[in-house]
Amino acid sequence: MVIQNNYQNASFLNSTNRVTGSILESYNNVSDYFVLKKANQLLVEENIELRKQLEESFRVVDTNSYFQKDSLFEYIGAKVIRNTINRQKNYLFINKGLKHGIRQDMGVITSQGVVGTVVEVSDNYSRIMSVLHSQNKINARIKKNRHLGNMEWNGKNYSLGTLTDIPNHVQLYAGDTIVTSGNSLLFPEGIAIGTVENYQTSNQEKFSNASVKYSVDFNKVFYVYIIVNLMEEELNSIEEK
């Protein structure tokens, strides 16, 4: 009876629309959140498949009779559930473990570059020693001239590390790219580590250091890829012999 009056009817409907609109907006926000979460997961899975097709994921066997390409690496996607950046020894925790094929001493990356190394694994979770760890050293290479060095964290700024053991005769400039060397079983060659911020040679030493800005923003690491080296067992058996 109240809303039969035109004015009161309009007021009632406007009020109802506001309430309904608010509910729908809240519903859409929640719905969008879950859709985005699913989209991110699908994106991770798609990136894994694309990484398997990268050139560094193959090796060439050249003989007198045939030409062969075999996959060297596989990738396991995982979500980061805990991450620290403000300690001297920083770690990440992910929601994948033994059940998913993850083992100790596997390299961990994002689409931007190197993140760290798996150091501890349970059935469903893994702990990763971050690049931001005082004891983590990465075999590195200067991309433009392929000279080797070692990447270490400076222990201060989570965005900056130090490239050490650079021969003084090597020409290095701000903006030069630093990548993984490929000389370990952890990472394929050419995975981004960072870019040079500044470099100064020393006349008193044979080797110099460079400040490097990490390619990964460690304050925004949500999904990672764990690298499975399919040739690791064979290579280890040779080293043991």
Give percent of the chain above pLDDT 90: 54
Q: What are phi and psi of 59, to 5 degrees?
A: -120, 155
Between the CA of residue 220 and those of 67, 77, 81, 86, what are the distances in Å?
42, 16, 12, 14
Are β-strands 67-71 and 207-214 bridged in parallel, bridged antiparallel, or unpaired?
unpaired
The chain-wide mean pLDDT, for the chain, equals: 80
81 CB contacts (<8 Å, ≥6 apart)? Answer: 93, 94, 95, 125
Smallest CA-to-CA distance from 180 within 149, 134, 152 is with 149
Q: What is the per-residue pLDDT for 49?
A: 61
Task: Give the residue, 42 or 94, on which the prediction is more confident.
Answer: 94
9-22 tens-digit pLDDT: 544 445 544 444 45
Q: Are 129 and 105 in contact (CB under 8 A)?
A: no
Q: What is the torsion angle, in degrees rounded to the nearest 10, for the CA atoms of residue 131, residue 133, residue 135 and residue 137?
A: 10
pLDDT of residue 46: 60
- Above 50 in pLDDT, residue 190? yes
- What's residue 200's pLDDT? 77
Residues 106-152: tens digit of each pLDDT: 999 998 999 999 999 999 999 999 999 999 999 999 999 999 999 99
pLDDT for 152: 96
3-class DSSP state of 119: strand
Query: Which tokens hold the place of 118?
Result: 């798996």
